[in-house]
Amino acid sequence: MAHFIACGEPSLLPTHIAFLRYVNRTLDSLKHDAAQILANFFCFQPNIDRNGRSFCEEDILSSSAKDLMTAMGSECCLEAQDWSSREKNFGDKECPQAVFNALDTMLKDSLDRLKMMRESISLAKIGLQGYTCNYNYAEHATLIRCLCLEGKLGAGLLLRVKMMQKGFLPDVFTHNHLINGLCKVGLMEKADWLIRDMIELGPSPNRTTYNIFIKGYCLVNNIEKALYLFSTMGNVGIQPNRVTCNTLVHALCKKGLLKEANKLLEEILNDDDEKNLQDLVTSTIFMDGYFKNGSIIRGLSLWDEMLQKGTKVDVVAYNVLIHGLCLSREINLAHGYACQMLKKGLLPDVFTYNTLINALCKEGKINDAIYIFRVMSKMGIMPDQISYKIMIQGSCFNGDVPKARKLLLCMLDNSMVPKPLIWNLIIDCYGRCGDLKRAFCYRDLMLAFGVLPNVYTYNALIHAQVKSGNIYHAYSLKEDMQSKGLYPDVVTYNLLIGAACNLGHLHFALHLHDEMLQRGYEPDMITYTELIRGHCIRGNMNEAEEIFAKMQKCGFLNDHVPVQILFNKYCKLEEPVMAFNLYQEWLTTKHYGRLLHPLQTHCGGGFEAFSCIYVTLEELARRKGANMIS
């Protein structure tokens, strides 16, 4: 019994267990009796009991035989009572040999029975192990695929290693799931290692493996590596198919390489496919590429070509067409194709409506966008988060805060909790309107629905406080922001520095600037402009000039506002020479000498700014009686 357990035998039936226990007891009894008989046989000492009386060997043999028969039973052993009977004359000198013969016979019979039992159990074990191995292989392979779909790639790779350690190699279908999961998250080095492992150990990669790997490189914008993989497919005897073609063509079109995409298409497809060179997917990809590159005519001509060939266009093709027309601001034409789509029995999806709504909002046609939004709901297409975001954003940009608020409440009624971006739009819109009460009210409502404010939320609230002149409340919001584990950004510091400078609190503005540098943020043009404004308000012209020189070193001269601030301050101080020198230095700057020439600066405010500067300088020169401008 102990031998079976040590060998890892499977569970035995109760009858087997009982039989093994019986055999163990029998063998123990045989060993004990044999040892006693041998001792009596070879040691010629009289048998003496406790009282010193001797008893005969015949009594020992008789009692031992009876005990043996009781332990074994007549079913599983020889009839030992024939040998133990007094009628067999065990007392004579032939008796020991007869006993040994009986013991040998019983022991041999028991060992033969054990051998037969072990062989039968081993055969059963082999069959059970084969079934279990097949079951475990299928179960583990399925589990690896499920883990990959859930994004648990580490667990899937670990299970693959354990399977291989047990001598089971997952099939290529399971390996493709692992490679696809790695490519989706951008772990291309891991995917490359896995494919090399497949080539070395098996199973060999197939066409699907290469298609997944090529798509992964296209997703990480490494089109060169994807093309190299495509060129090596023929070396291993794998022919590319339509999926390979469409993946590479889509990647090239995204980069604007439409000519290269056409050449690649002709290279991949065989001569037999020349009549039907492009299928629906390929034509849709090319049409999308033409529209995104601004070639609206080529895009429409490709659409007409598809219809002439009798290609059955689907909703995706119409969506690409409508989106391309909206990018080209051909909204009326896009709306016409949407109506044509309905006439052909194709129901627009949420992407179709979102495209039209977004184009109308960008054009400022909020009422038309609301009409499309209502038609969308009546057609049974429920608006999603993107639909509401577009509508709320368009309403806020056009200053229609009540409409944006109604849309937000409609989302909440439909059990759609908005993302922080939508909340921030409403809060910022109320803050710009000066309605601090409603801005903080929606911040509290945001928290009530379990949406945590982010840096942009606090920046919107700080901007609202700054606009109302509450610099201390704005600073307390920054402190509250830090207590929530959020760190202020450059926009936060610029808002506070600008508010402090406007109120004349230059020391506080400089303190915020130092704190900004300590946190590792680099000041931008707005930071320097606000500090220049603060120094000019306090009359610290030397410090303002130093900051302006620092801006020049950093390359922040893309705006005329800092120059206008300094110029206006010098004019108020009646320092025309300093004002003219500043103006002349600005003009001689390489960047602005090209950008702000009167013949080139009719847009963006540059020409108007310099016209004012000329007029102001002439007025100052007239006052001083000096002709400063040639």
Domain boundaries, the chain: 2-132, 571-630
Contact 148, 180 (CB under 8 A): yes
**What are the phi and psi torsion angles at 54 (to 5°)?**
-90, 150
Contact 527, 493 (CB under 8 A): yes
Contact 509, 534 (CB under 8 A): yes
Q: Looking up tokens 């490359």, which residue turns up?
A: 192
pLDDT (0 to 100) of residue 613: 52
β partners of residue 48: 54
Which whole-number Å values give the CA distances from 377 to 339, 361, 371, in the listed order? 16, 18, 10
- DSSP letter assigned to residue 503: T
DSSP 557-575: -S-SHHHHHHHHHHHHTT-
User: Over the chain, what is the mean pLDDT?
Assistant: 77
Contact 366, 400 (CB under 8 A): yes
pLDDT (0 to 100) of residue 84: 42
pLDDT, tens only, 126-147: 444 554 566 578 888 889 999 9
Total-model pTM? 0.62
Residue 150 CA to chain centroid, in angstroms?
10
Q: Which two tokens stand for residue 424?
A: 């921030």
From the CB of residue 112, how many other CB atoms can be counted at a distance below 10 Å?
10
Which whole-number Å values give the CA distances from 243 to 247, 259, 304, in the listed order? 6, 19, 24
Q: Which parts of 414-524 fold into alpha helices (H)?
A: 420-432, 436-448, 455-467, 471-483, 490-502, 506-518
Contact 360, 376 (CB under 8 A): no
Q: Name residue 355's amino acid.
A: T
Residue 159 has pLDDT above 80, yes or no: yes
pLDDT, tens only, 412-458: 998 899 999 999 999 999 988 888 999 999 999 999 999 999 999 99
Average pLDDT of the segment spanning 194-214? 92
pLDDT (0 to 100) of residue 166: 86
Residue 367 has pLDDT above 60, yes or no: yes
pLDDT, tens only, 475-532: 999 999 988 889 999 999 999 999 999 888 889 999 999 999 998 888 888 898 899 8
Residue 382 has pLDDT above 80, yes or no: yes
pLDDT (0 to 100) of residue 181: 93
- DSSP letter assigned to residue 271: G
